[in-house]
Copies of this chain bind each other. A is one copy, B any other.
Amino acid sequence: MQFQLTSEFIEHIEQLISKKDGKALRALLNDLHFADVAELLEELSFDEATYLINLLESRITSEALMELDDDVREKILDRLSPNQIARELLEMDTDDAADIVAELDDEMQQRVIDTIGDDELAADIVELLKYDEDTAGALMAKELVQVKETWTVAGCVREMRRQAKNVTRVHSIYVTDKEGKLKGRLSLKDLLTASEKTHISEVYIPKVDYVTVHTDNEEVARIMQKYDLEAIPVVNEEGILMGRITIDDIVDFIKDEAEKDYQLAAGISQDVEADDSILRLTKARLPWLVLGLFGGLGSVYIMQGFDEALSRFPILFFFTPLIAAMAGNVGVQSSAIIVQGLANDNVKGSLFHRLLKEVGLALINGIALALLVMIFGFLVGQNHLVSITIAVSMLSVIIVAALVGTFVPIILNKRGIDPAIATGPFITTSNDIFGIFLFFYISKIILGF
C-alpha cells in the first residue's frame, strides 16, 4: 500500500523531465499522494521541481508545496511567476495560502494578491497576514461550516452542503447569532439524529472552547491538548467567529517545539537538520562551543590558582574531569526534569519543598557515588585522606549542581525566558567551572596545601 521512492523511479522521472514528456509524467504522478510528490520534489533539482509544479494538477502540487522543507520551497517559489503562484494558492486552505504569501518579499506579495482573481481568498489572505506570527490569528484558517441559531435542521443541512464545497474536512459545525458571534457548536451526531424541522437553537451545544485571534500558539496547543480538541474556533475581540485551528497544525507545532527543546539541550541554537549546509550547521553549533571553550579556559584559570597542590597532591588534577563530568551530568538531569515539568505545567508546590526534594535526591545519588569513589581509592591503594577529600567534594559538587540545574530554569521561566536554553551547554559549562572551584577549595581546606 505504501509508496516507496526508489532511486530508479527518481532517475526515470528525471529522464522524462529532460525529454519534457509531460504526458508520461502526468500519467505517473497525478495519482500519487501529495506527500509522496513532495518527497520526490525534494530529490530533484530546483529547476526540475519547478517544472513539475507547473506541469501537474494544482490540487496535488499545492499540498506538496506545503510539505516541502522551507528552504526547498523558497527556491521553487523564486522560480515561479506571480500567476503560477496564484494558481497554487487557489487550491490551498486559507491558512496555507497565507503562509506561502508571507514567505514572499513585499513586492511579490502584492503582485500575487493582485493576480489571484478570487476576491474572497485575496481578502482572507490579506486579513490573515495582519496577525502576529505566533498567535492563533496567524495559525487559523477561514474555512469552516457556520450555521445560524435561528435555522432549522433542514435549512442547516442545505446550507452545509453549499459551504462544505469549500471545506476539505468538516471538523465541527459552529453556531453563531445574526451578527456572527460564536454561540456554540453542533455535533454531527445531533444533526443526524434530530428531526428536520427542529431549530438549531434547540439542539446546539452552548459550551464551546475557543481562543481569540491574539491567543499565543503555545496556549492554543495547551488548550487543544488538555481538552482533546480536534478543532477550535477563533473569535475576535467582539466574539465574532473569525476562523478555526485544526489539530494537524498543532501536531506540527508540538513537534517543532519538542525538536527545538531537544536541540537546545544538545547545544544547537537554530532549527537545523542533518542535511543543512555546513555554514548553517556551523552557525547553529559554533556559538555554544565557544561558550564551552571560555568555560574551559575559566577552569584553567581556577586550577592555576591552586597550583601549589601540584607538587603534593597531583592526583587531584587527575580527578578534575570526573568532578566536571559529575557536575555537568547532574545539572543536565535536574534541569531537563524541570524544563519538561514547566512545559507540561506540573511543577507544583512551593520552592522550599522543591529545594528539600532536590537536596534529598542529590544526597542519595551523591552518597552512593561517593562510596564508589572511596571503594575505588581503597582498591588502588590511594591515600585515605585524599579519597575522603574527593568523596566529600564530589558530594558537595553534586548538591550544588542539582540546585543550579533546578533553579536556573525556574528563574529563567519566571523572567519570561525559554527555560529550555538552560539544559545543555549553559548548565554544563557553568557547573564545570563551579564544580572545579568547589573541588579545589574543599580539597585545600581538608588537605591544607
Contact = CB atoms under 8 A, between A and B. Distances in A.
Interface of A: 1-2, 33, 35, 157, 160-161, 164-165, 167, 169-170, 188-189, 192-193, 209-210, 223, 225-228, 230, 247-248, 250-251, 254-255, 258-259, 261-263, 265-268, 272-275, 278, 281-282, 285-286, 288-290, 292-293, 295-297, 299-300, 303-304, 307, 310, 314-315, 317-326, 328-330, 332-333, 335-338, 340-341, 344, 346-349, 354, 357, 360-361, 364-365, 368-369, 372-373, 376, 423-425, 428-429, 432, 436
Nearest to A394: B293
A288 B333 contact: yes
Contacts of A295: 322, 325
Given A188-B188, A248-B247, A318-B303, A266 B333 contact: yes
A325 B193 contact: no
A325 B292 contact: yes
Given A193-B161, A314-B310, A273 B228 contact: no
Contact of A337 (B227, B268, B329): B268
7 contacts: A164-B189, A230-B248, A274-B354, A275-B349, A281-B361, A282-B361, A296-B322
B325 A274 contact: no
Given A265-B336, A325-B328, 5 more contacts: A230-B230, A251-B254, A261-B262, A267-B333, A286-B369
A341 B274 contact: yes
Given A248-B247, A251-B247, A254-B255, A372 B290 contact: yes
B267 A369 contact: no
A285 to B, nearest CB: 5
Given A296-B319, A297-B376, A346-B273, A286 B368 contact: yes
A329 B299 contact: no
Contacts of A340: 259, 262-263, 273-274
Question: 9 smallest A-B Cβ distances: which pairs?
Answer: A296-B322, A266-B336, A258-B258, A274-B341, A317-B317, A303-B318, A300-B318, A299-B321, A321-B324
Work out how many copies of this chain go into the complex. Answer: 2
A273 B336 CA distance: 10
A112 to B, nearest CB: 24
Contacts of A318: 299-300, 303-304, 317
A2 B292 CA distance: 43
A82 to B, nearest CB: 27
Contact of A296 (B297, B321, B344): B321
A24 B321 CA distance: 62
B322 A365 contact: no
A148 to B, nearest CB: 18
A108 to B, nearest CB: 27
A326 B288 CA distance: 10
Given A188-B170, A288-B329, A299 B322 contact: yes
B193 A165 contact: yes
Contacts of A321: 296, 299, 320-321, 324, 432, 436
A425 B428 CA distance: 12
A360 B347 CA distance: 43
